[in-house]
Structure 1
Amino acid sequence: MARVLIIEDDKNIAGLEKDYLEINDFKTKIIGEGIAGLKEALSGNYDLVIVDLMLPGIDGFDICKKIRDKLEIPIIIVSARTEDIDKVRGLGLGADDYMTKPFSPSELIARVKNQLARYERLLGKSKESSLIEINGITINKDSRKVWVNGVEKSFTTTEFDLLLFFSSNPDIVHSKAILFDRIWGEDDFGDIATVAVHVQKVRKKIEKDPANPKIIETIWGFGYRFNKY
């Protein structure tokens, strides 16, 4: 399911955009201020950004430029400014499309879908392939971020690599030796006991009850299994 960020200070317009996007199976979030909107856009959590030009904080032109400096996701400007110079400037700063207010909600949805499809074609793969969603856990392989039941959790590099390996290979029992080789590498001179330590750290971040884990299960005498349910 594609995720869309709406940066718009007009609550009525933002609400209309959100309603129509969610009816069409998009996940959405609204930010009503420029600086906070830019920060959220740069989080790497979204597949597309819809931005107004006239915003408190910083304007939509600056937001487009700063997003495009960091990310290649589609950007659609939706603005009451109808002058050609604004359209040219917005598109020149990295926006992929420009719609003027008032607009048809159905046209907005069509343009969102078109930009996402175009972006996927340019990538040569589906953007969804960068995400793993399993057991209430969402893993973004590109940004290396993790959310558990919608709440972002902080993972070290090794913890992330371990969780990514488990979630990419569910319902398979992995020995400590295999995990050590895959995560730490055969050239690492560490102790294989570190596997159990890091498994416990990951459990504390993803399990409801780490003392009685249901997701990363210990298979005594064999290793660990990441259960998919």
Structure 2
Amino acid sequence: MHILVAEDEKDILNLITEQLRMEGYTIYQAFSGLEAWNLFQKETIDLALLDVMMPGMDGLTLLRKIRETSEIPVIFLTARGEEMDKVSGLSLGADDYMVKPFSLAELSARVAVQLRHLKKIKRPDVKEDIIICGELCLDRLHGTLHKRGKLIELNAKEYLLLTYMMENQEIILTKRQMYQAVWEEEYIYDDNTVMVHLSHIRNKIEDNAKEPQYMITFRGVGYKLTDPIKSEHYE
């Protein structure tokens, strides 16, 4: 998931960025409202953290412009705790509000809650026939996967597992989550079934499986399918 963080205090911006990157998110940094607006127009943003007081364009103005075209979750950050700020932000369409100084753990939790709400909105019962991730193109209708126009052969479980990961790209998935979603049975601890299938998929979709660009391992946590084209803009 891609998060825009707009904050004119460099130390706070870097702390937030480090915390959220540890959670597996892609972060776009902005030191001003105008810079944040330019990034929002250029990149695919799933959630925005906006400081209220920023040079050039304040957070309230930025939120107003965002809401003209998008309903992504927005969390306001500010050193000011006045009731009027909260009312103004929430009335313009902010989804949450945090007053500095705040706990990074609490911020992470609030971000996760907003993104869970977003996933429910973005994933209706009717699924899209085509899913794109970088140069990978998965066709649900025909049950095929292509990369740069070339067919990649997958067995049934590999196809289901990759489909699940492409549905949840940019999210770190545990072996338990993947096993229960694809095999539809209780996960057995230390069962290497998922790892074997992931290894086979990685060998098929990566140009160099030893230096993966799509399937990224987070040791002790899980795996994430990422778009390497978008990741080129990773700050």
- Counterpart in the other structure of 2:28: 29
Asked if the contact 1:80–1:100 (Cα under 8 Å) also holds between the matched residues in 2, the reply is: yes
Judging changes above 3 Å, is the alpha-carbon distance between structure 1 residues 46 and 82 closer, same or farther for their aligned structure 2 residues? same
Q: What root-mean-square deviation, in Å, do the aligned CA atoms of Structure 1 and Structure 2 show? A: 2.6
What is the rounded CA distance, in whole Å, between the counterparts of 1:106 and 1:23 in structure 2? 11
What is the TM-score normalised by the length of structure 1?
Answer: 0.58
Relative to the length of structure 2, the TM-score reads 0.57
Task: Indicate whether 1:64 and 2:34 are aligned.
Answer: no
For structure 2, which runs of at least 5 residues remain unmatched after alignment?
154-203, 206-235
Mapping of 1:182-201 within 5 angstroms? none
Residues 47-126 of structure 1 correspond to what in structure 2 (within 5 A)? 47-125=46-124
Closer, same or farther: CA 216–86 of 1 in aligned 2, 3 Å: same
Aligned match of 2:157: none
Matched-pair contact (CA < 8 Å) for 2:6–2:32: yes
Count of residues in Structure 1 that have an aligned counterpart in Structure 2? 149
Q: What does residue range 89-168 of structure 1 map to in structure 2 within 5 Å?
A: 89-125=88-124, 132-135=132-135, 167-168=137-138
Contact 2:5 2:30 in 1 (8 A): yes
Is the 2:73–2:95 contact (alpha carbons within 8 Å) kept by the matching residues of 1?
A: yes
The match for 1:46 is: 45
Q: Cα distance 1:118–1:171, how it changes in 2: closer, same or farther (>3 A)?
A: closer
Q: Alpha-carbon deviations, 1:173-216, whole Å to 9, x = none?
A: xxxxxxxxxxxxxxxxxxxxxxxxxxxxxxxxxxxxxxxxx833
CA contact (8 A) 2:3 2:25 kept: yes
Q: 1:43 to 1:134 in 2, by over 3 A?
A: closer
Q: Matches of 1:63 and 1:92 in 2, distance apart?
A: 14
Q: Which position in structure 1 is the counterpart of 2:3?
A: 4
Partner of 1:190: none
One-letter amino acid matched to 1:168: L
**Does structure 2 retain, via aligned residues, the 8 Å contact 1:8–1:33?**
yes
Shift in alpha-carbon separation, 1:71–1:20, aligned structure 2, 3 A: same
Report the Cα offset of residue 81 of structure 1.
1.1
User: 1:124 & 1:25 partners in 2: Cα distance?
Assistant: 20
Distance 1:134 1:42 in 2: 20
Q: For each residue in 1:130-152, what CA deviation from the matched residue of structure 2 results, as whole angstroms up to 9, or x when unmatched?
A: 962144x6xxxxxxxxxxxxxxx
SS across alignment from 1:70? coil
Task: Determine if contact 1:42/1:67 at 8 Å carries over to the other structure.
Answer: no
State the identity as a percent.
35
Say whether residues 1:215 and 2:215 are aligned partners: no
Give 1:83 deviation, angstroms.
Answer: 0.1
How far does residue 171 in structure 1 lie from its aligned partner after superposition? 4.4
SS state at 1:15 partner = helix
Residue 138 of structure 2 contacts residue 145 of structure 2 at CA under 8 Å; is this kept in 1? Answer: no
